[in-house]
Structure 1
Amino acid sequence: MTATSPERHPTADTIIVGGGPAGLSAALCLARYNRQVLVFDGGRGRSTHHQVNRNYIGFPGGIATVDLRKRAVEQLADYPGARLSHHQVIGAEGDAERGFTVRSQSHAFTARTLILATGVLDHFPHFPGWERYVGESMFWCIACDGYENRGRRILVVGHTDAAAAEAMQMHSLSDRVQLLTNSHRNEISEVLCRRLRAAGIPVLHDQIRGVEGDQGRLRAVITRGGERLETDSLFSIQGATPETRLAEQLGVELAPTGYIRVDTEQQTSVPAVYAAGDVTSLHSHQVSAAVHEGSQAASAANYFLYPPELKSA
C-alpha cells in the first residue's frame, strides 16, 4: 500500500452519510434489524445550532436539537453493530452489484447499501458573530419557530416572493413585521408588493451591515444605508442549497428543485442508494419528517439486504 492509498476498513451492511435526525433514525432502525451500520457525522447541519424543537411529540416544552442528537447517539450505543465516525466523507462510488465505497481524506469504507442524509446548507445573513444567533433569535422556519414569536418584532430577510409570502404569513402571528431584502436585487413581484403594502408590512431594500444583540438575542439590525431596525427575531428566507455532491458522484437523479428525487420508500434512482431528511424535499423540513424518512430508508435498505429466499416477491 502506497503512502497515498486509502486504508481499507471492514465492510458494513449500510453506510449512512449524515448524523442528524434522519441519519440517526436510520441507524437505530438498521441496528434493530441486527445490521452492521456505520454513520458518518461531520458535526454540521441544522441540528447542530441552538435550536429548540417543539414540533416533536413526547417532549413537553421542547428539546434542543443538539440534545436530541446526543440522546440518539447514546441510544445507538446499546447496539454493537452501530458505529459512529467523525470522518468527513469527500467521495462516493459504486453500484448495487459491486457495493459502495465512501472515502475520507485517508480512509475508504465499503458497504452494500448507502443512505444519504446530508441535509442542506442554509444561506443565513452573515455579520460578525452570526452563528451565535441561529436558533436563538435567527430562524429559517415559521412552522418551527413562528408560534414562539407571536406579537414580537419580526424581521423577515429575503429579496424574493418566497420572502414576501413568509412575511405575509408572519403577519398572522404579529402585527410588527418588517421585510429587508438584504440583497442588491429586489425580485419581489408587484402583486406581492401590493399585498405587503395592504398588510402594512414595510419593505426596505437595503443590506445588513451588523446587529445589536447579546448572547444570541437580537435587539436591532443595522443596515448599510444607516437604518436601525429594532427587532426581536429574524427569519431568514434567503434559501438553502441541498448537499447533493455525493449523490451526483453516484449518478443519482435530482428533482428540478435540486433536491434528491426519491420514491415513497426513500429509494433514489440508483438501486441500493436511499436518501432521507431535508436533502429530499424543498419543503417539510421538520425533525419529525426527517426521523420518519430515516426509518423508511432503513427499512427499505434492510429489505434489499435480505437474500432472495427471504423476500416475498
Structure 2
Amino acid sequence: MTYDCIIVGGGLAGLQAAIQLGRYAAHSVLVIDSEDGRSGLCRSYRNLLGYPDGVSGETLRQAGRQQLQTYGIAIKRDTVAEAGPLAQGGFRLQGAGGENYAARTVLLSTGVMDRLPDWPGLRACLGISVYVCPDCDGYEIKGRRTLVLGAGDVGARMALTLRAWTDRLYYVRQETATHPLSPELAEQLDTAGIPHLAAPVQSLVVEDGCMLTGVVLTDGTTMSAERAFVAFGGNEVRSRLAEQLGARLHENRHVWTDPRTRMTSVQGMWAAGDIAYHSEQAAIAMGDGAQAAIWIHKALREMQAAQR
C-alpha cells in the first residue's frame, strides 16, 4: 500500500500533524513511532495553555493517540532505519525489522534527544524537579536553591541564563577531562556571583520518587538543592533520514524548512517539531505539525487533481 502521507515520529509534532490531516477525511495516513521520543521523558509541562498544574508528555501522547482513532489513523511501532525516493515518485521507508513502507509524502518529526547522565532516579525527576530547558522551566526555580549539573561552557552558559530567576545557583561541573571550563566563562560566573566547582556526582538524593533534594559527590559530600538543571550539550538531532533523502541541514544538523509551509528542500518531504530549527518548545512543535499538515493536504490535493 502507498500511503498519502507517512509521519515518522509520534511525538507532539507528529501527532498534531496526524490529527490535522485526519480531519480532512481525504487522505490515507500512517504514523510510525519508535516510542522513545523526548516528550515521553517530560513528567510535567507547565508552560502550555490550559495546564497550569502541568501535564506530562506521556499524557499528551496518549491523548493524541486516542484522538487519532476518531479519524481512523493507525500508529505503527517501528524505527525507520532507511529512506529513499521511489522511481515513480514518493518515498520508500524501511523499518528496523525489514518491513517496507511507501508514501506519496513524508513528514519527519523525529525530534531531538537530550544527552543525559545515567544517574539512577534522574528520569523520574525530569519536568518535576530537574529540568533541561530554561525557556520552559526557568520559572520553576524562582528564588530556589538550584544546582546546575553540566559540562564545560555549556553548563556555564546555562547557569548564567538561570541567574535571571534565582541568585541561589551553584554550578557543579562534570566531565572536566573532556569538557573544560574556559577562562572567559569562569570569569563571567564569578562576576555573576555563581559559585562553580569541579565535583563528579555519584548519585542523586530523591524523595517521593521525583523530588530532588540534593546530590552526593564522589568524595562523599552532599550538596542540598531544591531544584536542578542538567546541561551537558551534545544533544542528538535525529535528522539521519532527512540526510538520507538529501534534505538541506543547518550546521547544527537541524533540518532546514520553509518558514511558511515547513517543507524541506526535498519536494514532498516536510519536517516539524524539534528536528526543525526553532526554540524546541512543545507548543511550537504542535504548531509546526499543524502547519506542515495544512500544506501536505494542499500538495496532496494538487497531486490528486493532476491525476484526473
TM-score of the superposed pair, with normalisation by structure 2 = 0.90
3-state DSSP of counterpart to 2:79 = coil
- Aligned partners of 2:272, 2:264: CA distance in 1, in Å? 10
Aligned to 1:110: 102
- Aligned partners of 1:253, 1:102: CA distance in 2, in Å? 19
Aligned to 2:294: 299
Aligned to 2:4: 13
Pairwise CA distance, 1:16: 0.4
- Aligned partners of 2:84, 2:303: CA distance in 1, in Å? 25
Pairwise CA distance, 1:169: 2.1
Residue 246 (1) aligns with residue 233 (2): no
Pairwise CA distance, 1:242: 0.4
Aligned to 2:231: 237
- Aligned partners of 1:153, 1:75: CA distance in 2, in Å? 40
Which of these residues, 184, 192, 203, is aligned with residue 191 of structure 1? 184
Which of these residues, 244, 253, 261, is aligned with residue 258 of structure 1? 253
Give matches, 1:156-235, under 5 Å.
156-183=148-175, 184-214=177-207, 215-235=209-229
Which of these residues, 142, 164, 167, is aligned with residue 150 of structure 1? 142
- Aligned partners of 2:247, 2:188: CA distance in 1, in Å? 40
- Aligned partners of 2:245, 2:122: CA distance in 1, in Å? 34
Whether contact under 8 Å (1:95, 1:270) holds in the other structure is no
Distance 1:44 1:180, change over 3 A: same
Which of these residues, 266, 285, 288, is aligned with residue 290 of structure 1? 285
1:175-199 deviation line (CA, Å, top 9, x unaligned): 2111122112444332322221122
Pairwise CA distance, 1:255: 0.6
Distance 1:309 1:134, change over 3 A: closer
Whether contact under 8 Å (2:205, 2:216) holds in the other structure is yes
3-state DSSP of counterpart to 1:158 = strand
Distance 1:43 1:234, change over 3 A: same
| RMSD over equivalenced CA pairs, Å | 2.0
3-state DSSP of counterpart to 2:296 = helix
1:191-228 deviation line (CA, Å, top 9, x unaligned): 32222112221111232221221302212212234442
Whether contact under 8 Å (1:95, 1:272) holds in the other structure is no
Pairwise CA distance, 1:294: 0.6
- Aligned partners of 2:88, 2:149: CA distance in 1, in Å? 47
Q: Which runs of 5+ in 1 are unaligned?
A: 1-9
- Aligned partners of 1:241, 1:26: CA distance in 2, in Å? 23
Q: Which amino acid aligns with 2:7?
A: I
Q: Which amino acid aligns with 1:28?
A: I
Which of these residues, 266, 274, 278, is aligned with residue 278 of structure 1? 274
Once the two structures are overlaid, the 10-residue window that deviates more, 93-102 or 52-61, is: 93-102
Whether contact under 8 Å (2:5, 2:28) holds in the other structure is yes
Residue 86 (1) aligns with residue 80 (2): no
Q: Figure out how many residues of one structure are paired with residues of the other and give that number.
A: 300
Pairwise CA distance, 1:310: 5.5
